[in-house]
Amino acid sequence: MTSTSRPSGTEPSRRRRGKAPTIFDVAAVAGVSKSTVSNVVRGADEVSEQTRARVLEAIARLQYTPNAIARQFVNQRTTNLGVLVGDLGNPYYAHMARVVERAAFGFGYTAMFCNIEGDDNLAAAGVDALVEQRVAGVVFLAFSENTPHLEDSLRGAAVPIVFLGLHERWADSVGPRDAEGGRLAAEHLLALGHERIAYMRTALVEPSTDRARQSGYRAALRHAGRAAQPTLRWEPGSPVLRSGREQLGVAELFRRPHAPTAVFVSNDIGAIALMEAVESAGIGVPADLSVVGFDDIAIAGLRRISLTTVAQPLDFQAEKAVAMLLERIERPSLPLRHVSVAVELRERGSTTRPRVG
């Protein structure tokens, strides 16, 4: 009952018990050479029908499974893709990760995941592990700034890499039009009549991405002749936030005179957490505060959440990233490519006109 048993019977006696059959065993049973078995397994077409049938039968009889480790070893090339993911517990990453795995598998690759989650040492160890495993390429689905060691390791290993969901100069990347998204969010709030619209960043978004989204927001405000509010910085779950240079309680900020009546948060998880935080302090969304997010993760669309947000095509980006990575694996000398995908505003219930007075 320990699942180590294995059908015994007609195998050649020189098959070592408890070991998986090899190409050698198959060759012996079929009465051909290892080369021929290899040709059959790989689907080379220079094998006669008769021989092929004999080999296939031997394979079935022995329940032979090719050893991909050996194959990868001799080929000096694996069919594994490494996926560096920020945090699988974050729905945004989880969604992307799922599509990446699906796409990779469709192309005959397996996906080795590695959570990165903040800790730089862990991230570095993860990259080292992937490099040692000689992954054919890496999908970078996480931060890259603030972790210079990562970039060194990745570039040093000369492993093909694609950044997914963000833009990075030194490698292929596919990400959303961040500035345009910021502009759409701000324009929506302006159109509703908001005059004091704040931008909020969290540690959940890469700094350069944050800057791009904020620049779009700023541009829209400027165009409308409105002053940008001090930048809000908040760590979801924290009772305090920073507004420009001051630090104060979340509720405190939104209760004082001339407080922002609308906030554009640079990502959905942060936006939903903000709704949670202000509402538990009695500040209603959207009655007292309009909130816009970015990403359009699945839960943003639940009626009870109903978050207005800048939607980016997650599946498309993930699939595109994998395709680009495979292209680079085939042709490492390809020029760098940076794909930007369109975003669109999804108006839902978390935004409305500002309260009068």
Applying CB under 8 A, the span of 50-58, 83-91, 199-207, 231-239 interacting with its own copies comes to 83-91
Does 204 sit near its own copies (CB under 8 A)?
A: no
Which is closer to its own copies, CB of 18 or CB of 257? 18
Applying CB under 8 A, the span of 91-99, 181-189, 211-219, 319-327 interacting with its own copies comes to 91-99
- Give CA–CA dist 155/49, Å, rounded: 47
34 binds, among its own copies, DNA, none (CB under 5 to 8 A by kind): DNA
Looking at 178-313, list the stretches that DSSP marks H as alpha helix, in order from N- to C-terminal side: 178-191, 207-224, 250-255, 268-280
Judged by phi (left if over 0) then psi (alpha if -120 to 50, else beta), residue 76 lies in left
- Give CA–CA dist 101/96, Å, rounded: 9
Considering the complex, what minimum distance in angstroms separates the CB of residue 130 from its own copies?
A: 8
Give the closest residue to 171 by CA, choosing from 144, 203, 202: 144
**Token pair 């993930």: residue:** 318
Does 356 sit near its own copies (CB under 8 A)?
A: no
Which is closer to its own copies, CB of 86 or CB of 216? 86
Facing residues of 234 across strands? 241
Residue 290 in contact with residue 192, Cβ under 8 Å? yes
Does 4 sit near its own copies (CB under 8 A)?
A: yes
State CA 129 to chain mean position distance.
19
**Token pair 């296939």: residue:** 56
Does 171 sit near its own copies (CB under 8 A)?
A: yes
Cα separation of the two ends of the chain: 74
Facing residues of 272 across strands? none
Considering the complex, what minimum distance in angstroms separates the CB of residue 218 from its own copies?
A: 30
Hey, how many other C-beta atoms are within 10 angstroms of the C-beta on 224? 14
Hey, how many other C-beta atoms are within 10 angstroms of the C-beta on 160? 24
- Give CA–CA dist 321/94, Å, rounded: 15
Does 91 sit near its own copies (CB under 8 A)?
A: yes
134 binds, among DNA, its own copies, none (CB under 5 to 8 A by kind): its own copies
Q: Which residues make up the interface to DNA (CB under 7 A)?
A: 19-20, 22-24, 31-36, 38-39, 41-42, 45-48, 50-52, 64, 66-67, 70-71, 73-76
Which is closer to its own copies, CB of 145 or CB of 276? 276
226 binds, among its own copies, DNA, none (CB under 5 to 8 A by kind): none
Applying CB under 8 A, the span of 149-157, 189-197, 204-212, 230-238 interacting with its own copies comes to 149-157
Residue 78 in contact with residue 112, Cβ under 8 Å? no
Q: Identify the burial level of 256 via C-beta atoms within 10 angstroms of its C-beta, where 0-12 means exposed, 13-18 middle and 19 or more buried.
A: exposed
61 binds, among its own copies, DNA, none (CB under 5 to 8 A by kind): none
Considering the complex, what minimum distance in angstroms separates the CB of residue 131 from its own copies?
A: 6
Considering the complex, what minimum distance in angstroms separates the CB of residue 50 from DNA?
A: 6
247 binds, among DNA, its own copies, none (CB under 5 to 8 A by kind): none
Q: Which H or E run includes 98?
A: helix 91-106
270 binds, among its own copies, DNA, none (CB under 5 to 8 A by kind): none
Considering the complex, what minimum distance in angstroms separates the CB of residue 17 from its own copies?
A: 12
Residue 40 in contact with residue 82, Cβ under 8 Å? no
Residue 124 in contact with residue 169, Cβ under 8 Å? no
For the chain, the residue count is 357
Which is closer to its own copies, CB of 17 or CB of 258? 17
Which is closer to DNA, CB of 68 or CB of 334? 68
Does 56 sit near its own copies (CB under 8 A)?
A: no
Applying CB under 8 A, the span of 121-129, 139-147, 229-237, 253-261 interacting with its own copies comes to 121-129
For residue 247, the one-letter residue type is Q
Does 132 sit near its own copies (CB under 8 A)?
A: yes
Q: Which of 191, 240, 299, 342 binds its own copies (CB under 8 A)?
A: 299
Q: Which of 34, 52, 61, 102 binds its own copies (CB under 8 A)?
A: 102
